[in-house]
Amino acid sequence: MSETRTLVRRALEALGVRRLLLGVHDAALPGDPADDAGRGAPLSLGGRAFLRFAQDLGFDGLQLGPQGRTSEIDASPYDGTLFSRNTLSLALGPLREEGILPEETFREAIGSRPSGERVVHAAVFRNMDRALRAAFATSTRDLDQRRLAFAAENADWLERDALHEALCAEHREGDWLRWPERDRRLFHPAAGEENAARSRREELLCKHAALVARYQFEQLLAHEQHWAFRAEAKSVALGLYGDLQIGVSHQDIWSWAAVFLPSLRMGAPPSRTNPAGQPWNYALLDPARYEGAALRFFRRRIEKVLGEFDGLRIDHPHGLIDPWIYPTGEPDPFHAVQNGARLFSSPDVPHLAAYAIARDDQLDRTLPRHADAWVRELTGAQVSRYATLFDTLIAAARKRGLAADDLVAEVLSTLPYPVGRVIARHGLGRFRVLQKMRLDDPGDVYRSENAAPEDWIMVGNHDTDPIWRVAERWHEAGLGPAHASHLAGRFSPPDPTRFAETVASDPTRLARARLAELFLGPAQHVSIFFSDLLGMREPYNRPGTISDENWSARIPSDFRKRYGEDVGRGRALDLPRALAMALRARRIEGQLASWLEERAGPDPAAPVLPSRA
How many of the other CB atoms lie within 10 Å of CB of 481? 16
Side chain identity at 18, as an amino acid letter? Answer: R
Alpha helix segments (H runs only) across 138-193: 141-153, 155-171, 181-184
Q: Please calculate the CA angle 467-469-474 and round it to the nearest 5 degrees.
A: 90
- Distance, in Å, from the CA atom of 74 to the CA atom of 94, rounded to the nearest integer, reads 27
Taking each helix axis from N to C end, the angle separating 559-568 and 45-57, rounded to the nearest 10 degrees, works out to 30
| Predicted local confidence at residue 1, as pLDDT | 61
Give the model's pLDDT for residue 86: 98
Q: What is the DSSP letter of 90?
A: -
User: Of 1, 11, 33, 141, whose CA–CA distance to 596 is shortest?
Assistant: 11
Contact 433, 464 (CB under 8 A): yes
Q: What percent of the chain has pLDDT over 90?
A: 92
The model's pLDDT over 201-258, given as tens digits with 9 standing for 90+, comes to 999 999 999 999 999 999 999 999 999 999 999 999 999 999 999 999 999 999 999 9
Which amino acid is present at 323? P
Partners of 20 in beta bridges: 526
Tens-place pLDDT, residues 530-557? 999 999 999 999 987 788 899 999 999 9
Does pLDDT of 611 surpass 70? no
- Give the amino acid at 277: G
Q: Which of 249, 166, 169 is nearest to 205 (CA)?
A: 166
Question: What are the structural domain ranges in the chain?
Answer: 1-63+430-613, 86-237
- pTM here? 0.95
**Degrees, nearest 5: CA angle 555-559-564:** 140
pLDDT tens track for 319-366:
999 999 999 988 999 999 999 999 999 999 999 999 999 999 999 999
The rounded distance, in Å, linking the Cα atoms of 479 and 482 is 5
C-alpha closest to that of 55 among 597, 578, 575, 582: 575
User: How does strand 239-244 pair with strand 264-268?
Assistant: unpaired
Residue 233 dihedral angles phi and psi, to the nearest 5°: -60, -45
CA–CA dist 236, 251 (Å, integer): 36
- Burial code (b: 16+ CB inside 10 Å, e: under 16) for 336-375 equals bbbebbbbbbbbebeebeebbbbeeebbeeeeebbeeebb
CA atoms within 13 A on the CB side of 362: 17
Cα gap 595→591, rounded to integer Å? 6
Residues in a beta bridge with 206 = none
Helix H or strand E encompassing 327: strand 324-327
Q: Which of 219, 31, 245, 243 is nearest to 119 (CA)?
A: 31
